[in-house]
Structure formats: structure tokens, C-alpha cells
Amino acid sequence: MSESDPLSLPDAARKNWVDAYAPASVRPWLRLGRFDRPAGIWLLFLPGMMGLLYGATTPSWELAYKLVLFLIGAALMRAAGCAYNDIVDRDIDLKVARTRLRPIPSGQISIKQAAAFIVACSLISFLILIQLGTTAIWLGFASLGLVAAYPFMKRITWWPQAWLGLTFNWGFPMGYAAITGHITVAAMIFYSGLIFWTIGYDTIYALQDREDDALIGVKSSARIMGDKVHLGVGICYAIAVALTGLSAYLGGLSPLFYIGLAGVAVHLWRLVATLDTGDGAGALKRFKASGLTGLIWAIAIILGHQGV
């Protein structure tokens, strides 16, 4: 936590750019959008990037332009989604040590101000969406239902991480459709694999709050797995690798894809093997390392287009 700002959030990097450089008046807004914790932006962008790469067999200016659009869109929609989540969860956040200093529960930003923030981010994102083609546009609108329902999942199911997987990886079919104009079975199988990847890494993330969640009755896969977290996360990661491998086969990617996929498998295995379920800081570190997993997957897709 930054010594100069007592409102720095405990799960943000100690030297994050918001605490270090942003004017004090702007910091609550940047924290509301989680710009002090860019790992979430990366994890939202990566599936979209993978979808774009999966659909594009060769490099092009169109691909480069849409990669930039998806990156900006990921940052804005993640910010809007986090603000919406904080509005819904403001009472819960007050009871959890990691979240009680967030801008809404701490009183730095009002509900009306947060709503205006959501509208602003969404309007800019809409301008990006309409450049992606008809199929991708419809998929973008469909994602709003997933986003709207997510904050309530922890109240009604032990598997909110599965819903997050559906939501956070929606960029894969959108990215694929933005390049090809359609959706294939192979692309949806890859998307399904990424859902299990998210269940795994968000279960690790939820380990930080397991005790607080138990006290206030919030459900999570980290709680339902109990002392079987290593096994549960390992199974999720194994399914993710298997499904994306099947997708590559059905999608006609070359055997070079599986070289990269082997790297994904090794990296995921290492994250599980070194996980200490009682170490919150270690869990957060491994959650952030999931960004590297996505990057290796993206490289695997690029390799898979070689020699086809």
C-alpha cells in the first residue's frame, strides 16, 4: 500500500502508476475502473486477441487495427463492468478487508457518479463495437446480459467463476467474428476451453477472500473445492488444454500449434504445483501470471497458422 495515499487498495501493486503519478482528484475514478490493477484488462483483452489471431490466417493492417480496438474496448468495458460490480456489491465490499477501501464503499464516489462513469465508458465502447461487423456487433450486445448477471452469481451459485468465464472470454468469438464475419464450431470449442481456464485462475484469485466470504455467506469455487483446490484447478486447466487442442485440430491449424500448447500446459502445471492455498499474496501473484498463459496461447495460434 502506498505510504502517501492511505486509500491505496491492498491488491494493487505497491508502485502502480495510479498511486505514483495520477493527480489525487483523479485516483478514485481510476481505481473505480481498476486501472491501478491492469491484470484484469490483460485477461479480458487476451481472449479477444486470440479470437482475432485464430480468424486471421495472415498478418494485415485490418488485424493490427482491430487488435488496437479490442485493447481499448477491453480497458473501457472492464472499467464499466468493475464500476457496475461495485455498485451491486457495495454492501458486501464493506465487509471484506481487501475491498472495503474501494471508491464506492469508502464514499469517495457516489452511486450516481459511478453510473455516469459506466455510461461514458459504454458510449465510447459502442463506437468501437460498430466498427467490427454485424456478427460481432450482435455478439457484443449479447455480452451485456452476461455482464449484468455476473455480480449476482456469487449469491446464487457456488460457481460464479464459471459465469465469469462465460463473460470474460466472450471476446474470443467476437474477435473471430470481427475477422471472418461468422462463427464456427471450432471457434466455440476454443472459447469453451478458455472458460475452464478462467474458472481455474479465478478460483486461485478467490483464495484471497475465502475466510471473509465464509463469514458473510458469499459463494465461490474456492470455498466449494475446500482442500481440493489443487485438484479442482488442475482439472479445469487440463480441460482447457484439451479443448483448445481439439479446436486447433478441427480448425485446421498445423501441428506447430501443439508446441505452443505444450508451453501452456507446462506453465499452468507450474502455477498449480507451486500454489499455497493459505498464502493470499502468492495466490494473487499466480492469478496475475495467468496473463503469460494467454500470451503463450496466442503464440501457439500464430504458430498454428504456419505451414497450413
Domain assignment present for residue 19? The answer is no
Please give the pLDDT value at position 20.
84
The stretch 65-94 carries a mean pLDDT of 94
Answer whether residue 171 shows pLDDT above 50: yes
Evaluate whether 136 touches 178 at the Cβ level (below 8 Å): yes
Query: Count of residues for the chain?
Result: 308
Domain assignment present for residue 166? The answer is yes
Domain assignment present for residue 244? The answer is yes
> Which cell is 179 given?
475477422
Please give the pLDDT value at position 19.
85
Q: Where does 21-142 show beta strands of DSSP type E?
A: none
The stretch 134-142 carries a mean pLDDT of 96
> Which cell is 98 given?
481487501
- The residue range of the domain holding 253 is 24-304
Can you give the CATH number for the domain in which 258 is found? 1.10.357.140
Reported pTM: 0.90
Q: Which residue has the higher pLDDT, 5 or 212?
A: 212
Q: Which residue has the higher pLDDT, 97 or 178?
A: 178
Please give the pLDDT value at position 37.
87
Domain assignment present for residue 136? The answer is yes
Q: Report the candidate in 117, 124, 107 with the shortest Cα–Cα distance to residue 30.
A: 117
Q: Return the minimum-mean-pLDDT range out of 75-79, 210-214, 275-279.
A: 210-214
Domain assignment present for residue 260? The answer is yes
pLDDT band of residue 190 (cuts 50, 70, 90) is: very high
Cα 146 to Cα 78, 169, 276: the distances in Å are 13, 11, 31
Alpha-carbon dihedral sign for residues 252, 290, 197, 265: positive
Evaluate whether 180 touches 213 at the Cβ level (below 8 Å): no
The stretch 18-44 carries a mean pLDDT of 90
The number of folded domains in the chain is 1
Domain assignment present for residue 17? The answer is no
pLDDT band of residue 2 (cuts 50, 70, 90) is: very low
Percent of the chain at pLDDT > 70 equals 95
Domain assignment present for residue 13? The answer is no
13-34 burial code (b ≥16 CB/10 A, e <16): beebebbeebeeeebbbbbbbb
Average pLDDT, the chain: 92
Domain assignment present for residue 14? The answer is no
Answer whether residue 4 shows pLDDT above 70: no
